[in-house]
A and B are shown apart, each in its own frame.
Chain A
């Protein structure tokens, strides 16, 4: 019984960590002179209060989920991909470029094509740090961050120059593209802003689950993450899987960028920063994936939750005058708390192992230890 309680506690850890972060958020609201209860009520209302609010939450959750399932792949293979922002931008640029170049094709042909191109472009942008790590042992955390900065400048350059809307030339020169053909808009699912991309993301999350746990390649990716030395002795070509997992991780972020353009924005514009386009989804996708315990299926509700936080933050800002930046700060706290709470999970796992050992010693029949199959697979990095 005791064993089962501690397993339940493990499963609830991310939730407890989030509640702790929200509690700190409440204290911050108090200090800033806002009523935390009405603040959070506004946040909840803004995220779930109506059909449109729910749809907006799902729309905000879509890039988080796509980035997040990529993060699951990378982190499971032991590489840390901080480059989601840049990979999203590359995916968006490639997909937008293609859509602008061929404005007169039927949507049924073009939509799949631009999504695939976004996927591939993000994959290349993620694959570069993967190659640098596998071949030259370059720290992927730092290289992916640098790739983000390079992608932003590339975007600014392209939107100011090659891809700029012809109408902007000579006029105000706002760095933006023309609107993409309406034939290429991702279909809406219900009469709200909810678009096909959300459905694609959920299906892909399930697909990635099967990929990671039901295929040989997925098994090898996880093996490399668990113990790269042992994997090498077992004949797995570790460098190849490092490149593959970073490329795949980037590819899903790239797809997120393409989906953002064709599902929501329908053109590209830059304010000079990455967040201006991504809304920091490249970072928040990491938060969602961690919250979902680096499991693609778990990342689905996690993305929805963080999508809700982001949508609700605007309402929070209107009601309490507390800037929506609060949510960025709280997301940071959630990451810290979720990662820090791993210590209790490890302690629990150790205690369970000792209990099992002692039960064994006493000559009792070995209890079926309800160890979650993912239990030992949680080491990252």
Chain B
């Protein structure tokens, strides 16, 4: 049975879906990396993802226009990110707990809207695979990497962009300064609040896209609690990645590959209780958290509110 896993077609399917399934983790985790680098822990990611997933889904359900759906998911994500920024930056609220509040709000609200507006198992025609000319024709490699939909490519494109912004731009420097030592950054004339508003709102937008990537690109459905805690895993991946986009990518891939393996193992019919198989990614997360806690140091001001002494 296990040998079936290593036949060509299964392996290609496994890798290809692994690449694809990393998409929501990547968007959410890269967005969260920005917020956390500037010192804000946004635990509401999963709730924002759910709202983004529903709003994207609903627009596509009504109009069939995928880009309009994505746009609404972005807007909803931005609004919720802005709200989280207001709560944690302007009101200086305890971030760990207020994030859970945002999560509960998104969980309840997306469910409420779904029941009120759709209330059926409906599928939509989501983003279709986009074959990259020439590259997609390469045997095996092409099938794994270059026959994905556009949101998948976008997620991977975000990694070098995020790396560049964080490490090579003035804004990235300000962001890191604010996350490490807000007092010093403030003294040098960097507006702590402005930087944090920008990063947390950006994180909200990315969470919105992450949600939409599930509902209108990967699964093409919406249901209550569609994300099933995926947003929290994305936050764990930020820790695992040591707040560096490249490592976040590795973590996301590791995760989605385990997930994909778990699915394929069941598809082939290998006798592992499915509940135990589904448990694996979460166990892996805990192991990953233990390892990463030893390896890297978190931004010094992470989850600490900054109050100016006027």
List the interface of chain A (C-beta within 8 A of B).
32, 80, 82, 132, 136-139, 141-143, 145-150, 153-154, 156-157, 160-161, 273, 275, 283, 286-287, 290, 322-323, 325-336, 339-340, 342-343, 346, 380-381
Contacts and interface: CB of A to CB of B under 8 A. Distances in A.
Interface residues of B, number: 47
Contacts of B95: 381
B135 interface: no
B93 A145 contact: no
Nearest to B88: A340
A332 B282 contact: no
Most buried by A among B96, B102, B276: B96
Contacts of B92: 342-343, 346
B105 A333 contact: yes
A242 to B, nearest CB: 14
Given A154-B275, A329-B109, A342-B94, A283 B104 contact: yes
A137 B302 CA distance: 15
B108 A145 contact: no
A234 B235 CA distance: 34
Given A136-B290, A153-B278, A335-B97, 15 more contacts: A136-B294, A146-B283, A146-B286, A150-B282, A153-B275, A286-B97, A325-B112, A332-B102, A332-B105, A332-B106, A332-B107, A333-B101, A335-B100, A343-B92, A381-B303
Contacts of A141: 43, 96
A328 B225 CA distance: 12
B104 A325 contact: no
A381 B99 CA distance: 13
Interface in B218-276: 224-225, 229, 232-233, 235-236, 239, 273, 275-276
B289 A153 contact: no
A323 B276 contact: no
B91 interface: yes
Contacts of B43: 141
Contacts of A148: 229
B71 to A, nearest CB: 22
A330 B108 CA distance: 8
Contact of A136 (B91, B115, B293): B293
A327 B285 CA distance: 31
A138 B289 contact: yes
B293 A137 contact: yes
Interface in B150-196: none
Contacts of A381: 94-97, 303
A143 B289 CA distance: 8
Contacts of B232: 142, 145-146
Q: Which DSSP category, helix, strand, loop or mixed, fits chain A's interface?
A: helix
B87 interface: yes
A137 B297 CA distance: 11
B31 interface: no
Contacts of A343: 91-93
7 contacts: A141-B96, A286-B100, A322-B116, A326-B108, A327-B108, A336-B87, A340-B98
Contacts of B285: 142, 146
Contacts of B68: none
Given A150-B282, A329-B112, A333-B105, A139 B100 contact: no
B286 A143 contact: yes
Contact of B111 (A143, A150, A325, A342): A325
Nearest to B106: A332
Contacts of B132: none
B204 interface: no
B299 interface: no
B116 A335 contact: no
Contacts of A346: 92
Contacts of A328: 104, 107-108, 111-112
B116 A323 contact: yes
Contacts of A342: 92-94
Contact of B97 (A143, A146, A339): A339
A342 to B, nearest CB: 6
B96 A336 contact: no
Contacts of B102: 332, 336
A143 B239 CA distance: 12
B58 to A, nearest CB: 15
A323 B115 contact: yes
B103 interface: yes
Given A328-B104, A331-B104, A335-B100, A340 B278 contact: no
